[in-house]
């Protein structure tokens, strides 16, 4: 899968829902009920961060849940790509990129949404063919105003901003022409996951799924 095909696939995934929950899950036993709460709330696209020992197992469990579109997040080294595929991830997200991460995702045909934070990084990725990028860390990096400004000289790059986004500021991003969806942990926080509060997760997902999208 070349970068153009990967971007096409990522764009389709981003258009499935306005919000991609960013999940940090320690316990694989709760993967299924967590995914079910999010999906039935209207958020089928799930980013499972490779930040816990059981993240790959969590991906495997979530990928079995009907309707789930599960991606591996926090891809920081090239080996992560193969691990993510073996676990059943259907896409990958990275906070930034290295050449080897891009090479591995292309070689193993795993669609990647690479992360970028500055115009030079965005331009480099776009030149390679990656037209859909994660804008990270969104709020710390200038937030909505930065993305709006970037759309001037770089109108053909689309983003999933992530980092510091919540129910209060998500809508502002989703109004932008260059924002396909946003990522965030607010729909399934550590506390909600620890308390196995699937009712609240479902409610937050439901509210998030109604935020202004371009579906
Ligand atoms: C992350 O990778 O941690 C994401 O950027 C999520 O950020 P958030 O917790 O601020 O939503």
CATH number, domain at 169? Answer: 3.20.20.70
| Confidence class for position 211, pLDDT limits 50, 70, 90 | very high
Within 72-168, residue ranges assigned H as helices are 79-87, 99-107, 119-128, 143-151
State both tokens at 53: 């020992």
Asked if residue 108 belongs to a domain, the reply is yes
Q: How far is the CA of 109 from the centre of ligand 1 (A)?
A: 26
Task: Say whether pLDDT at 213 is over 70.
Answer: no
Sheet holding 91-93, edge to edge: 112-113, 91-93, 69-73, 45-49, 19-23, 182-184
Q: How far is the CA of 71 from the centre of ligand 1 (A)?
A: 15
Asked if residue 156 belongs to a domain, the reply is yes
Question: Residues lining ligand 1, judged by CB closer than 6 Å?
Answer: 22, 136, 162-165, 183-185
Asked if residue 141 belongs to a domain, the reply is yes
- Ligand 1 atom nearest the C-alpha of 162 is 5
| Confidence class for position 210, pLDDT limits 50, 70, 90 | very high
User: Per-residue pLDDT averaged across 72-97, rounded?
Assistant: 97
State both tokens at 189: 């926080």
Asked if residue 93 belongs to a domain, the reply is yes
Task: Say whether pLDDT at 215 is over 80.
Answer: no
Asked if residue 214 belongs to a domain, the reply is no
Asked if residue 213 belongs to a domain, the reply is no
pLDDT digits (tens, 9 = 90+) for 154-207: 999 999 999 999 999 999 999 999 999 999 999 999 999 999 999 999 999 999
CB atoms within 10 A of CB 196: 14
Q: Across-strand partners of 70?
A: 46
Q: Which mutation among 185, 187, 188, 191 tests ligand 1's pocket best, with the greatest number of atoms within 8 A of CB?
A: 185
Interacting residues of 128 by C-beta distance below 8 A, sequence separation 6+ = 3, 102
- Ligand 1 atom nearest the C-alpha of 74 is 2
Asked if residue 215 belongs to a domain, the reply is no
Asked if residue 200 belongs to a domain, the reply is yes
- Domain residues for 153? 3-208
pLDDT value of position 36: 98
- What total of structural domains would you count in the chain? 1
**Is pTM beyond 0.85 here?**
yes
């Amino acid at each position: 899968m070349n970068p153009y095909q990967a971007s096409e696939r990522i764009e389709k995934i981003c258009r499935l829902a306005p919000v991609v929950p960013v999940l940090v899950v320690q316990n694989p036993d709760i993967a299924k009920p967590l995914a079910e709460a999010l999906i039935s709330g209207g958020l089928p696209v799930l980013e499972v961060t490779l930040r816990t020992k059981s993240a790959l197992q969590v991906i495997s469990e979530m990928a079995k849940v009907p309707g789930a579109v599960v991606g591996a997040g926090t891809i920081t080294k090239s080996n992560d790509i193969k691990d993510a595929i073996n676990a059943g991830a259907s896409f990958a997200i990275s906070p930034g990129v290295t050449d080897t991460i891009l090479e591995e995702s292309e070689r193993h045909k795993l669609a990647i949404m690479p992360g970028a934070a500055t115009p030079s990084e965005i331009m480099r990725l776009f030149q390679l063919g990656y037209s859909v990028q994660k804008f990270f860390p969104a709020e710390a990096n200038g937030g909505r105003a930065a993305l709006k400004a970037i759309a001037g000289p770089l109108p053909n790059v689309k983003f999933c901003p992530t980092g510091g986004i919540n129910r209060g500021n998500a809508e502002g991003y989703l109004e932008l022409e260059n924002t396909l969806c946003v990522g965030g942990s607010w729909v399934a926080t550590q506390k909600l996951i620890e308390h196995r509060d699937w009712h609240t997760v479902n409610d937050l997902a439901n509210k998030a799924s109604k935020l202004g999208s371009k579906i």
